[in-house]
Structure 1
Amino acid sequence: MKRTIKKAVVLGSGIMGSRIACHFANIGLEVLLLDIAPKELTDQEKAKGLTLDSPHVKNRIVNTSLQTAISSKPSPLYHQEKASLITTGNFDDDLSKIKDYDWVLEAVVENLEIKKSLFEKVELYRKPGTLISSNTSGIPINFMLEGRSEDFQKHFCGTHFFNPPRYLKLLEIIPTKKTDPKIVDFFLHYGDLFLGKETVLCKDTPAFIANRIGIYAIMSGMHTIQKMGLTVNEVDKLTGPVIGRAKSATFRTMDVVGLDTAVKVAAGLYEGLPHDESREMFKLPKIVQELYDRKWWGDKTKQGYYKKVVENGNKEILELNLETFEYEQKAKVKLDVLDKTKNEEDLKKRLKIVINEEGREGDFYRATFFDLFRYCTVRIPEVADELYRIDQAVAAGFGWELGPFESWDAMGLKDCVDQMKKKNLAPAPWVDELLAAGHQSFYKYENGKKHYYDIPSKSYKVVPGTEGFIYLDAFKENNVVWENDGATIYDIGDGVLNVEFHTKMNSIGAEVIEGINTAITMAEKDFRGVVVGNEGQNFSAGANLAMLFMFAVDQEFDEIDMMIRQFQNTMTRARFSTVPVVSATSGLALGGGCELSLHCDAIQAHAETYIGLVEVGVGLIPGGGGTKELTLRASDKFMPNDPELNILQEYFMNIATAKVATSAHEARAMDILTVADRITLNRARLLADAKERVLELADAGYTQPKERTDIKVHGRTSMAMFEAGITGMKYGAYISEHDAKIAKKLAWVMSGGDLSAPTLVSEKYLLDLEREAFLSLCGEQKTLERIQSILFKGKPLRN
Structure 2
Amino acid sequence: MKRNIKKVAVIGSGIMGSGIACHFANIGVEVLLLDIVPRELTDKEQQKGLSLNDKVVRNRIANDNLTAALKSNPSPIYHKKFADRITTGNLEDDLSKISGVDWVIEVVVERLDIKKKVFEQIEQYRTPGTLITSNTSGIPIHFMSEGRSEDFQRHFCGTHFFNPARYLKLFEIIPGPKTSEEVLGFLNVYGDKFLGKTSVVAKDTPAFIGNRVGIFGIMSLFHQVKEMGLTIEEVDKLTGPVIGRPKSATFRTVDVVGLDTLVHVANGLYENCPEDEAHELFKLPGFINTMMENKWLGSKTGQGFYKKVKNDDGKSEILSLDLDTLEYRPGKKASFATLELTKTIDRPIDRFKVLVGGKDKAGDFYRKNFAAMFAYVSHRISEITDDLYKIDDAMKAGFGWENGPFEIWDAIGIKDGLEIMKAEGEKPAAWVEEMLGSGNDSFYTIKDGNTYYYDVSSRSQVKVPGQDAFIILNNIRESKKVWSNSDTIVEDLGDGILNVEFRSKMNTIGGEVLQGINKAIDIAEKEYDGLVIGNQAANFSVGANIGMIFMMAVEQEYDELNMAIKMFQDTMMRVRYSSIPVVVAPHGMTLGGGCEMSMHADKVVAAAETYIGLVEFGVGVIPGGGGSKEMTLRASDTFKKDDVELNALREYFLTIGTAKVSTSAYEAYDLGILQKGKDIIVVNKDRQIAEAKKHAVLLADAGYTQPVKRKDIKVLGKQALGAFLVGTDSMYAGKYISEHDKKIANKLAYVMAGGDLSEASHVSEQYLLDLEREAFLSLCTERKTLERIQHMLKTGKPLRN
Is the contact made by 1:345 and 1:502 (CA closer than 8 Å) also made in structure 2? Answer: no
Which amino acid is 1:549 matched to?
Answer: F
The yes-or-no answer on 1:352 pairing with 2:375 is: no
Match of 1:684 among 686, 700, 723: 686
- For residue 609 of structure 2, give the secondary structure of its aligned residue in structure 1: strand
Q: Aligned pair 1:281/2:281, yes or no?
A: yes
Partner Cα separation in structure 2 for residue 604 and residue 356 of structure 1: 42
- Contact preservation (8 Å) 1:485, 1:511: yes
Which whole-Å CA distance do the structure 2 matches of 1:277 and 1:196 have between them?
35
After superposition, the C-alpha distances for 1:603-661 in whole angstroms (9 at most, x for unaligned) are 11111011100000000110000111111111111223322622211111111111100
CA contact (8 A) 1:786 1:796 kept: yes
**Mean CA deviation greater in 687-696 or 185-194:** 687-696
Instruction: Tell me which amino acid in the other structure corresponds to 1:393.
Output: A
Pick aligned residue for 2:766 from 746, 764, 767: 764
Q: Higher mean Cα deviation, 592-601 or 775-784?
A: 592-601
Equivalent position of 2:717 in the other structure: 715
Distance (Å, rounded) in 2 between the aligned partners of 1:737 and 1:336:
45
How many angstroms does 1:288 deviate by? 2.4
Aligned to 1:422: 423
The secondary structure found in structure 1 opposite 2:453 is: strand
How far residue 410 of structure 1 moved from its aligned partner, in angstroms, is 2.0
Q: Secondary structure at the match of 1:445?
A: strand
- CA-CA distance at 1:67 after TM superposition: 0.1
Within-5 A mapping of 1:357-756: 357-643=358-644, 645-675=646-676, 676-756=678-758
Give how far 1:552 is off.
0.6
Q: Does 1:9 align with 2:9?
A: yes
How far apart in 2 are the matches of 1:276 and 1:303? 32
Residues 336, 360 of structure 2: 8 Å contact kept: no
Please state how far the C-alpha of 1:42 moved relative to its aligned partner. Answer: 1.1
Is the partner of 1:467 in helix, strand or coil?
helix
* 8 A contact 1:222–1:287 mirrored in 2: no
Name the CA distance, whole Å, in 2 between partners of 1:628 and 1:409: 49
Unaligned runs of 5+ in 1: none
Structure 1 partner of 2:133: 133
Given candidates 782, 785, 790, the residue that maps to 1:783 is 785
Partners of 1:423 and 1:303 lie apart in 2 by 34
**Whole-Å Cα distance in 2 between the matches of residues 483 and 287 of structure 1?**
53
Distance 1:352 1:750 in 2: 53
Q: Is the 8 A contact 1:95 1:122 kept in 2?
A: yes
Q: Is the 8 A contact 1:541 1:589 kept in 2?
A: yes
CA apart distance, 1:761: 0.8
What code does the residue aligned with 2:493 have? Answer: I
Distance 1:683 1:409 in 2: 25
Question: Could you tell me which residue of structure 2 aligns to residue 229 of structure 1?
Answer: 229
Root mean square deviation, CA, Å: 1.2
- For residues 682 and 643 of structure 1, the distance between their equivalents in structure 2, rounded to whole angstroms, comes to 40
**SS, match of residue 147 in structure 2:** coil
- 2:658 & 2:343 partners in 1: Cα distance? 31
Counterpart Cα distance in 2 of 1:142 and 1:646 = 61
CA-CA distance at 1:332 after TM superposition: 2.3
SS in 1 for 2:794: helix
Alpha-carbon deviations, 1:206-225, whole Å to 9, x = none? 00000000000111112111
Displacement of 1:531: 1.2
- Please say if residues 203 and 384 of structure 1, whose CA atoms lie closer than 8 Å, have aligned partners that are also in contact: yes
- CA–CA distance in structure 1, aligned partners of residues 539 and 417 of structure 2: 30
Q: Does 1:50 align with 2:70?
A: no
Distance 1:286 1:786 in 2: 48
Tell whether the 8 Å contact from 1:620 to 1:783 is kept in structure 2 after alignment.
Answer: yes
- 1:294 alignment partner in structure 2: 294
Map 1:109-124 → 2, pairs under 5 A:
109-124=109-124
Amino acid corresponding to residue 753 of structure 1 in structure 2 = G
Output one character per residue of 1:184-207: Cα deviation in whole Å (capped at 9) or x when no partner. 100000010000000100111000
Cα displacement (A) at 1:350: 2.2
| TM-score of the aligned structures, taking structure 1 as reference length | 0.99
Look up the match of 1:315. Answer: 316
CA distance in 2 between partners of 1:719 and 1:340 (Å): 54
SS at match of 1:645: helix
3-state SS of the aligned residue for 2:10? strand
2:333 aligned partner, one-letter code: K
C-alpha offsets along residues 771-797 of structure 1, whole Å, 9 cap, x if unaligned? 000000000000000000011222221
Name whichever of 556-565 and 226-235 sits farther off: 226-235
Counterpart Cα distance in 1 of 2:91 and 2:477: 56
Match of 2:174, SS state, is: strand
User: What amino acid is aligned across from residue 718 of structure 1 in structure 2?
Assistant: A
Whole-angstrom CA distance in 2 between matches of 1:646 and 1:339: 53
Partner in structure 2 of residue 215 of structure 1: 215
Q: CA deviation at 1:24?
A: 0.5
CA distance in structure 2 between the aligned counterparts of 1:646 and 1:442, rounded to whole angstroms = 60
C-alpha separation in 2, matches of 1:195 and 1:592 = 30
Whole-angstrom distance in 2 between the partners of 1:524 and 1:166: 40
How far, CA to CA, are the matches of 2:147 and 2:643 in structure 1? 65
- 8 A Cα contact 2:337 2:360, kept in partner: no
Q: Deviation digits for residues 548-583 of structure 1, max 9, x if unmatched?
A: 111111111111101101111111111111111111
> For residues 606 and 788 of structure 2, what CA distance do their matches in structure 1 show?
30
Q: Deviations over 1:742-776 (max 9, x none)?
A: 01111111110111111111110110000000000
CA contact (8 A) 1:638 1:645 kept: no
Q: Please identify, of 143-152 and 161-170, the stretch whose mean Cα deviation from structure 2 is larger.
A: 143-152
Per-residue deviation at 1:124? 1.1
Amino acid of the structure 2 residue aligned with 1:215: I
Q: Which amino acid aligns with 2:417?
A: C
Residue pairs, 1:27-66, within 5 angstroms: 27-66=27-66
Q: Is the 8 A contact 1:226 1:285 kept in 2?
A: no
Tell me the CA shift for residue 693 of structure 1: 1.2
Q: 1:590, 1:337 → 2: CA distance?
A: 33
The residue correspondences of 1:324-363 to structure 2 (distance < 5 A) are: 324-363=325-364
Greater shift in the superposed pair: 639-648 or 460-469: 639-648
Query: Could you tell me how far apart the structure 2 residues matched to 1:338 and 1:513 are?
Result: 32
* SS of residue in 2 equivalent to 1:775: helix
Q: Do the aligned residues in 2 keep the contact of 1:583 with 1:600 (CA within 8 Å)?
A: yes
Kindly, what percent of the aligned residue pairs are identical?
59
Distance 1:411 1:687 in 2: 29
Contact 1:162 1:397 in 2 (8 A): yes
Amino acid paired to 1:187: L
Aligned AA for 2:94? Answer: D
**2:162: which partner in 1?**
162
Asked whether the 8 Å contact 2:356–2:367 carries over to 1, the reply is yes
Residue correspondences, number: 799
Give the structure 1 partner of residue 180 of structure 2. 180
Which deviations, in whole Å up to 9, do the C-alpha atoms of 1:281-331 show, x marking residues without a partner? 111123423322221110111011111111332111111122222212112
Tell me the alpha carbon deviations over residues 57-114 of structure 1, each in whole angstroms, 9 at most, x when there is no partner.
Answer: 1011110000000000000000001000000000110001111111110001111111
Equivalent residues of 1:345, 1:503 under 8 A apart: no
User: Distance between the aligned counterparts of 1:414 and 1:650, measured in 2?
Assistant: 61
2:595 and 2:614 in contact (8 A); partners too: yes
Rate the CA distance shift 1:647–1:410 in 2: closer, same or farther, 3 A.
Answer: farther
Contact 1:613 1:655 survives alignment (8 Å): yes
Question: What is the DSSP-based 3-state SS (H/G/I as helix, E as strand, rest coil) of the residue aligned with 1:133?
Answer: strand
Please say if residues 62 and 89 of structure 1, whose CA atoms lie closer than 8 Å, have aligned partners that are also in contact.
Answer: yes
Residues 562 and 478 from structure 1, CA distance in 2 versus in 1: closer, same or farther, beyond 3 angstroms?
A: same
C-alpha distance in 2 between matches for 1:783 and 1:289: 52
